[in-house]
Amino acid sequence: MRKKGDSRWGIIYAVFAGLFVLVTGGYIGAVTYFTGLDTAVGWASAAFVILLLLLGGLLVGTMRSEASATVTALNEMMDRAMGGQPRQTGYTESRVSSLEHKVMRYVELSNTHKRKAEAEKSSIKALISDISHQTKTPLTNIVLYTDLLGETPGLDEEARQYIARIRDQSGKLDWLIRSLIKMSRLETGVIAIHTELAPLIGTVSGAVSQIYAAAERKGIEIRIDCDPGTMARHDAKWTAEALFNLLENAVKYSYSTGGVISVTARANEMFTRIDIADNGIGIEEGEWNAVFKRFYRSPRTADYEGVGIGLYLTREILTAQGGYIKVSSVLGEGSVFTVFLPAL
């Protein structure tokens, strides 16, 4: 960058020097001509022009030297401020000293905010860990005692239905708590996502394998079109979870029997594209952006289970990897969720 800037200034200097020589040459020629080709006048004019040239060069050189010294001082000032070292200019009334004071103040405030953010992050991490630990045991006990109660002989059908509902709701509560904890960890940066350039086929297959049984029970076919050589920079574990959330919704909101879910992956120059298409109930165009909000639930999905976390988590996971997601849909015909992951 510096060489490029120096080259640009060199061109500017050369242009102005050429213009100066052209103008002064014309001036000397004009003076000599109008004075009857008087040699003495010509030489005097030439000496005057040379003197102006020398003074101009001296001025330009001095200004360049001062500008270079100022830039060097500013670089040192920034280095000292970021390194927590004492002020360089002291407490003078100069503009440079005033600028240094503002830079030092800005760096100090930035470091203070950074320390507060780190402290809050540690506090939230500890809170999430406590919540996870404190809820795990009671839920496990509820599930255990429900199973034991269900094995009690002599229970009538109504009691067994109640036990089945308790077991079902306990599973939903466990899923909700785990999802909330996962969401909080993503938002606070507690979870570290590590991306690498790797084939997508394993990630896609892993996501499909988790939802295959549910799709089969509902009579829905899942088709995969992903070349083994299709690559993307992604975290295989978290990307599989994001794709699973999309597939789970596709199965949930697809019509029973005869439904088809297509998963297609294509590599482009900058991003690798994954399309997950279904022929389900669809989404109104006015809700295309809203569905990715936390806890958003469409009025049309009131009869379906869910709390509005899956798509939000999916977007957060993809954003953390430098990707993004969008949706297009037609009511009553289906939806297409398109995932973009970095291809380089």
Check: pTM over 0.85? Answer yes or no. Answer: no
**Is 165 in a helix, a strand, or coil?**
helix
Strand partners, 271: 342
**Is 225 in a helix, a strand, or coil?**
strand
Q: Quick one: pLDDT at residue 37?
A: 61
Q: What mean pLDDT comes out for the span 231-237?
A: 93
Other Cβ atoms within 10 Å of 263 Cβ, number: 21
pLDDT tens, residue by residue, 146-166: 888 888 887 888 888 888 888
Per DSSP, the residues of 249-285 read HHHHTSPSSSEEEEEEEEE-SSEEEEEEE--SS---G
Map out the domains of the chain as residue ranges: 2-82, 117-188, 196-342
Architecture of domain 196-342: 2-Layer Sandwich (3.30)
Helix, strand, coil % (nearest 5) of the chain? 65, 15, 25
For 280, the token pair is 């389900």
Tell me the H-state helices in 83-94: none
Measured between alpha carbons, how far is 197 from 344 in angstroms, rounded to an integer?
7
Other Cβ atoms within 10 Å of 174 Cβ, number: 16
* Percent over 70 (pLDDT), the chain: 85
pLDDT tens, residue by residue, 289-325: 999 988 888 888 877 877 788 898 899 899 989 999 9
pLDDT-based confidence at 7, cuts 50/70/90?
low
Other Cβ atoms within 10 Å of 292 Cβ, number: 20
Q: Residue 163: CA atoms inside 13 Å, Cβ hemisphere, count?
A: 16
Measured between alpha carbons, how far is 231 from 195 in angstroms, rounded to an integer?
12
pLDDT-based confidence at 1, cuts 50/70/90?
very low
